[in-house]
Structure 1
Amino acid sequence: MRPEESWSCVDLVRREADSFSEKPTINVDEEDGGLQICRVCGDKANGYHFNVMTCEGCKGFFRRAMKRNVRLRCPFRKGTCEITRKTRRQCQACRLRKCLESGMKKEMIMSDAAVEQRRALIKRKKREKMEAPPSGGQGLTEEQQALIQELMDAQMKTFDTTFSHFKDFRLRGEDGSIWNYQPPCKSDGKEIIPLLPHLADVSTYMFKGVINFAKVISYFRDLPIEDQISLLKGATFEMCLLRFNTMFDTETGTWECGRLAYCFEDPDGGFQKLLLDPMMKFHCMLKKLRLHKEEYVLMQAISLFSPDRPGVVQRSVVDQLQERFALTLKAYIECSRPYPAHRFLFLKIMGVLTELRSINAQQTQQLLRIQDTHPFATPLMQELFSSTDG
């Protein structure tokens, strides 16, 4: 068993390592909404930068140091200089070491071209909004725009669409043994049971991304840890299906996951038909809506903030948050979609989310039955399957 397979949903919510966004180790005042502390130098922080809560100074230093790609040396030849607000300029080598040890990630730094492209896109959208007010709606409020931007940022940080970090996964050899496999993987679906350990690894990789997505969202972090865990246990599978749909090609019936491709066709009965038929129908139905990225991410949020998940204590708070995301989705559609062609899109999306709840329950029961005879699930999957509201 690989070390990461022993992580539970609770571990992933609480844990600082392997996370795209986590609250830093801070003083007690922070828990009460007080001062946020930079994980690198201890100065006042102003948000998460490159995966870590830092100040603006350490954010800029890390970006410059990574882009320069120069090997820094400690002038004091210790390599263990204490980095504080007052001493952070004295040793660049140790400051960079502290940045990396705190969890700052080089791969999260946007290139200069990407930054300019993003700025140009923001300017263009603002200009288009001013020049052509959307028909059929009153426009997005500033709060709704900020909410969508927060969700999009969380998606970008936690959704590895290229599967570039998905490694050391399992497949079964012809003799039934488990072995590692790196080249592209393609299955025609004639026999799904031997692929279950591999599919469990794929799903677990996606589950971790969804959990990290939730932790980036400020509204989610403000909830009690117990409610965070209950919401994730109920919604993780549904949110993963929404993410998988963005990689689904209806023409070929294939999920394109970076260097991996999955094509399951013509289920011939048994578990395989029960598993694949509903999944294929769901993905085809959702793909036909031709949703925007913003609509996908709002669907994830609506699924996540479901007040009726088992174990949720602050139901009224979660219910208000879900309503806020739903109203934002409705407003976004009214602003971004031509009327009347898409006048029923919001209702269709809400219907899809209802269908998603049903699929979640059905798939969970089928996978638990398979698990009884062909154990394949990782510990994280077992915890999620046994805790859903099917």
Structure 2
Amino acid sequence: MSSESEARSPLDDSEVEESFREELEEDDEPKVCQVCGDKATGYHFNAMTCEGCKGFFRRAMKGPAKFRCPFQNNCLITKSNRRQCQFCRLQKCLSIGMLKELIMSDEAVEKRRMLIRRKKMAEDPAVLSDHQESLIQELLEAHRKTFDTTFSDCQFRPLDRDQNPMSEYSLKNSCSQNSPNLMGPVELRKPVESSLPQGSSSSSFSNCQEAEKSSKREKAFTTLPHITDLSTYMMQNVINYAKILKPFRALTIEDQISLLKGAMFEMVQMRFNMTFNENTGIWECGPLNYCMDDAARAGFQPHLLDPLMKFHYTLRRLHLDEKEYVLMQTISLFSPDRTGVTQHGAVDKYQELLACTLKIYIESKRTGPEKYLLFPKIMACLTEMRTMNEEYNKQVLQIQDIQPEVSPLMLEIVSQHS
């Protein structure tokens, strides 16, 4: 080798290769692998070789195997026979000056790859395309037309909190700590069975059940009329939102219904989350303030309310902006695996576009390292919502059986799982 090559400072393979590629741009003369004669791609481990011999040398030096020549230790290594004798091929690598010391450890390779990725991300920041910008604006306008966070146009039946006995949820998770004026008096009832005398007949037990059921109808869920009006209002707004979207209108009526039924509970809760105060645990809907006990007084049970409350805290603490909320809601709407959906391809394609848009929006608009975890956290919240969907449908039907005041729209939405 020339004195210039011998004086070369020990550089790692990638740096030398990058330098060599720059030289190739200035010199069109083909380079030949000094091991096997194949076309060389650069200097690897201090010698000009092809990619094949480069990989062979790295594996040979890092592996425990010891090679033996089946012939006379002087095989001629060519492109066609280089795999026939590993011993002589390795000796040729060493003889042309390839150095084991220049082989990077697996940890060093991974660290270098991470640095390259970070450098590339810094040089090429995520940027929304014109189509994605237009998509976000379209969704945002549709959202603002169909959701008023001040609830200024709402006309609901009064929210009666005074006469309704506190539920099991109220006892465990009373919001009176944060807003005592929202709570009514505490009243506990024993289960029907505990008040029966020993030896009671099945008919008397049945009569007691009917009496208890009648009593529940009279005063069990005093906030139900208001909560029904509120829920129906929110559902109508979600329907109006979906009807504005061109990709939604392009689907069959049957698929539109299936998507709305599947996503309704999730989208309503995500919209409610935009009004949630994480410091007080109160939903501040303009002149209307709600705590979770209002839902309990409407008949909903802890099996739903406990994870739902946790969800609202989790999502609100992500501090999403309006555009992120809207994209999240629409991803939920366009879920191809909802029961009854037939146009899976069209729905899946649009959901993928929404998800990519949300991811790029976060990367381009957010700052700080936490932005790289925000997208997966949002997707985890969507998954968590789906686990509560079935329980919500189940409890709505149970409430309707005890106190038939659930609106026809609510019943139609939950009928998918009935």
Name the TM-score class by shorter chain.
Answer: 0.5 to 0.7
The higher-RCO structure (CA 8 Å, 6+ apart) is: 1
Take 1:136 and 1:296, find their aligned partners in 2: how far apart are those partners? 26
Q: Which residue of 2 aligns with 1:32?
A: none
Take 2:161 and 2:362, find their aligned partners in 1: how far apart are those partners? 48
Contact 1:136–1:335 (CA<8 Å) still a contact in 2?
A: no
CA 1:274–1:280 in 2, change beyond 3 Å: closer, same or farther?
same
Q: Which runs of 5+ in 1 are unaligned?
A: 1-132, 177-185
What does 1:11-50 align with in structure 2 at a 5 Å threshold? none
Paired amino acid for 2:183:
D
CA 1:256–1:334 in 2, change beyond 3 Å: closer, same or farther?
same
TM-score by length of 1: 0.59
Q: Which residue of 1 aligns with 2:226?
A: 198
Matched, 1:341 2:329: no
1:243 to 250, 258, 271: 271
Q: Which residue of 2 aligns with 1:317?
A: 346
Q: Which residue of 2 aligns with 1:126?
A: none
Q: Which runs of 5+ in 2 are unaligned?
A: 1-120, 165-180, 188-219
Contact 1:134–1:335 (CA<8 Å) still a contact in 2?
A: no
Q: Which residue of 2 aligns with 1:188?
A: 183
Take 2:222 and 2:123, find their aligned partners in 1: how far apart are those partners? 53
Take 2:159 and 2:372, find their aligned partners in 1: how far apart are those partners? 46
Q: Tell me the alpha carbon deviations over residues 53-105 of structure 1, each in whole angstroms, 9 at most, x when there is no partner.
A: xxxxxxxxxxxxxxxxxxxxxxxxxxxxxxxxxxxxxxxxxxxxxxxxxxxxx
What does 1:1-390 align with in structure 2 at a 5 Å threshold? 137-171=125-159, 187-188=182-183, 193-264=221-292, 271-388=300-417
**Matched residues, number:** 248
CA 1:224–1:271 in 2, change beyond 3 Å: closer, same or farther?
closer
**Higher share of residues assigned helix:** 2
Please give the secondary structure, in 2, of the residue aligned with 1:150.
Answer: helix
1:150, distance to aligned residue in structure 2 (A): 0.3
CA 1:207–1:158 in 2, change beyond 3 Å: closer, same or farther?
same
Q: CA RMSD for the aligned pairs?
A: 2.8
Paired amino acid for 2:336:
P
Take 1:377 and 1:187, find their aligned partners in 2: how far apart are those partners? 23
TM-score by length of 2: 0.55
Q: Tell me the alpha carbon deviations over residues 88-126 of structure 1, each in whole angstroms, 9 at most, x when there is no partner.
A: xxxxxxxxxxxxxxxxxxxxxxxxxxxxxxxxxxxxxxx
1:173, distance to aligned residue in structure 2 (A): 8.8
Contact 1:172–1:194 (CA<8 Å) still a contact in 2?
A: yes
Take 1:312 and 1:350, find their aligned partners in 2: how far apart are those partners? 21
Take 2:373 and 2:123, find their aligned partners in 1: how far apart are those partners? 15
Contact 1:151–1:297 (CA<8 Å) still a contact in 2?
A: yes
Q: Which residue of 1 aligns with 2:168?
A: none
CA 1:136–1:257 in 2, change beyond 3 Å: closer, same or farther?
farther
Which has more radius of gyration? 2
Take 2:281 and 2:410, find their aligned partners in 1: how far apart are those partners? 25
Q: Which residue of 2 aligns with 1:64?
A: none
1:236, distance to aligned residue in structure 2 (A): 1.3
Paired amino acid for 2:403:
H
1:273, distance to aligned residue in structure 2 (A): 2.3
CA 1:259–1:286 in 2, change beyond 3 Å: closer, same or farther?
same
Contact 2:262–2:338 (CA<8 Å) still a contact in 1?
A: yes
Q: Which residue of 1 aligns with 2:177?
A: none
Contact 1:248–1:255 (CA<8 Å) still a contact in 2?
A: yes
1:307, distance to aligned residue in structure 2 (A): 0.6
Take 1:174 and 1:289, find their aligned partners in 2: how far apart are those partners? 35
1:300, distance to aligned residue in structure 2 (A): 0.7
CA 1:135–1:226 in 2, change beyond 3 Å: closer, same or farther?
farther
Contact 2:228–2:405 (CA<8 Å) still a contact in 1?
A: yes
Take 2:132 and 2:141, find their aligned partners in 1: how far apart are those partners? 14
Take 1:276 and 1:311, find their aligned partners in 2: how far apart are those partners? 27
Paired amino acid for 1:302:
I
Q: Percent identity?
A: 52
Q: Tell me the alpha carbon deviations over residues 214-255 of structure 1, each in whole angstroms, 9 at most, x when there is no partner.
A: 111111111122211111111111101000000000111111
Paired amino acid for 2:146:
T
Take 2:147 and 2:261, find their aligned partners in 1: how far apart are those partners? 19
Paired amino acid for 1:244:
F
Take 1:224 and 1:312, find their aligned partners in 2: how far apart are those partners? 9
1:147, distance to aligned residue in structure 2 (A): 0.5
CA 1:338–1:286 in 2, change beyond 3 Å: closer, same or farther?
same
1:309, distance to aligned residue in structure 2 (A): 1.1
Paired amino acid for 1:225:
I
Take 1:315 and 1:291, find their aligned partners in 2: how far apart are those partners? 29
Please give the secondary structure, in 2, of the residue aligned with 1:312.
Answer: coil
Contact 1:155–1:297 (CA<8 Å) still a contact in 2?
A: yes
